[in-house]
Amino acid sequence: MDSVGCGGAPDARAFFNGTRPDTGANTLAHIAAACAEGRAEEGRSGSLRMPVLDSLGLGAAVRLASGAGAPGFGADPQGLWGAATEVSRGKDTPSGHWELAGVPVPWEWSYFPETDPAFPPELTAEVARLAGTEGILGNRHASGTEIIARLGEEHIRTGWPICYTSADSVFQIAAHEQAFGLERLLALCAALAPRLHAMKIGRVIARPFTGAPGSFRRTANRHDYAIAPPAPTLLDWAAGAGRQTHAIGKIGDIFSMRGVSDLHKGADDAALFEHLLTLASDAAPGSLTFANFVEFDSLYGHRRDVSGYARALEAFDATAGRFLARLRPGDLAIFTADHGNDPTWTGTDHTRERVPVIGWGRGLRPVGQVAFTDVAASVAAHLGIPAQGPGRSFL
């Protein structure tokens, strides 16, 4: 559950949104409080309702992680429950996912400054050279939807790619699928990625869009060109043991397709969950499925949309009930997150938080405070394959 943190990170004071440290950020508890106080009434109403995951131990995980109560979460846990703490020096997508898969990040990521322009001239010159254009547009920190709306018409007129970044370690390129060409955009990002990776910029992201001025919209053909993990991950361990591995959503991009047998993508989280529902019934025994549901983060966390985030959580919980009903004896399901993105917080960046670890398939099992890498070790233990990372199984 991308960005669904539960507060309490012991090093939150070292991470910032602008000048404000992340100390006290708590994505789940603060959304629950806002709902209970009537401050999240757009498209929904009342207390935050997540009965399926709360029955497994979600509310208990929030209290364990941060000591904070989450209004509306009071169930006695019936599943595996605990909270995980990250050690990688980043609150970003690759760091969280790699560490959950057994590999902490051994380096510091690089970021572009909040200046205008944001990129060094030699980098923009290389982008223009690879694109076959006389220059680029953008060259700043920006919201993707905002910068496309503002510069999309000029992009179509000039053919210049729109380049921007964010608080993450990313370089994003937006281009019109028809006017610029989707394959041309993907080739540009792929050619540029090695240079950015050498700078320890985590991802080059292709952001294709379609439409006309006033009605531009991003498409589902986004592609992330990420630095490869520095060591074999849980996906590699499983694939090396001859197991089938399924990646849903961004997982293939995040892990550079390493250890991935089958990739399942979709236009939105609802489409991705249909893949998960199918695999709950059809995946081969002994296989591994790793899914990322990004819209909590991309649509609501970064935009500080508390009501939207609450709606997404409630919809996810309802669908999680359908998913759990399809699982078979011997299956293990774990719900967790890669970082926080508290929509009540200052700024638009992720927030440094612990994350919940909620499980189905092992009965009532409180696991306490664990490491991100312990998730990978535990999944490996369940699958009966050797774990190669520093984590320890909590099963």
Pairing of strands 365-371, 16-17: unpaired
Same domain, 290 and 221: no
- Compute φ and ψ for 383, nearest 5 degrees: -80, -10
Same domain, 56 and 87: yes
Residue 365's CB: how many other CB atoms inside 10 A? 16
Q: Is residue 392 part of a domain?
A: no
Q: What is the mean pLDDT of the chain?
A: 97
302 is in an annotated binding site: yes
Predicted confidence band at 168 (pLDDT cuts at 50, 70, 90)? confident
Q: Contact, 216 vs 261, CB < 8 A?
A: no
At which of 181, 205, 226 does a domain end?
226
Same domain, 237 and 353: yes
> Peptide bond preceding 229: is omega within 30 degrees of 0, i.e. cis?
no
338 is in an annotated binding site: yes
Q: Is residue 116 part of a domain?
A: no
Q: pLDDT digit string (tens) for 148-165?
A: 999 999 999 999 999 999
Mean pLDDT to the nearest integer, 357-385:
98
Contacts of 315 (CB under 8 A, 6+ apart): 270
350 is in an annotated binding site: yes
Q: Is residue 394 part of a domain?
A: no
Mean pLDDT to the nearest integer, 56-78:
97
pLDDT of 96: 97
Same domain, 95 and 236: yes
At which of 226, 250, 269 does a domain end?
226
Q: Contact, 10 vs 85, CB < 8 A?
A: yes
Q: How many folded domains does the chain comprise?
A: 2
Predicted confidence band at 67 (pLDDT cuts at 50, 70, 90)? very high
Same domain, 221 and 248: no
pLDDT of 167: 82
Contacts of 336 (CB under 8 A, 6+ apart): 1, 84, 100, 355, 356, 357, 358, 375
Q: Is residue 142 part of a domain?
A: yes
Same domain, 262 and 133: no
Same domain, 209 and 255: no
Same domain, 85 and 147: no
Cα gap 25→357, rounded to integer Å: 18
Q: Contact, 95 vs 74, CB < 8 A?
A: no
- Compute φ and ψ for 164, nearest 5 degrees: -155, 170
At which of 184, 204, 226 does a domain end?
226
- 268 torsion bin: left (phi>0), alpha (psi -120 to 50), beta (else): beta
Sheet holding 245-248, edge to edge: 262-264, 245-248, 288-291
Give the whole-number percent of the chain exceeding pLDDT 90.
Answer: 98
297 is in an annotated binding site: yes
Q: Is residue 391 part of a domain?
A: no
Q: pLDDT digit string (tens) for 79-125?
A: 999 999 999 999 999 999 999 999 999 999 999 999 999 999 999 99
Q: pLDDT digit string (tens) for 226-243?
A: 999 999 999 999 999 999
Same domain, 169 and 313: no
Q: Is residue 112 part of a domain?
A: no
Predicted confidence band at 7 (pLDDT cuts at 50, 70, 90)? very high
Same domain, 23 and 159: no
Answer whether residue 11 shows pLDDT above 90.
Answer: yes
Q: What is the CATH number of the domain that holds 175?
A: 3.30.70.1250
Q: What is the CATH number of the domain that holds 375?
A: 3.40.720.10
Domain that holds residue 276: 7-106+230-383
Q: Is residue 111 part of a domain?
A: no
Q: Is residue 53 part of a domain?
A: yes
Same domain, 221 and 242: no
Q: Contact, 28 vs 324, CB < 8 A?
A: no
Q: In 82-143, where does DSSP find H-type helix?
A: 93-100, 121-131
pLDDT of 247: 98
Same domain, 252 and 327: yes
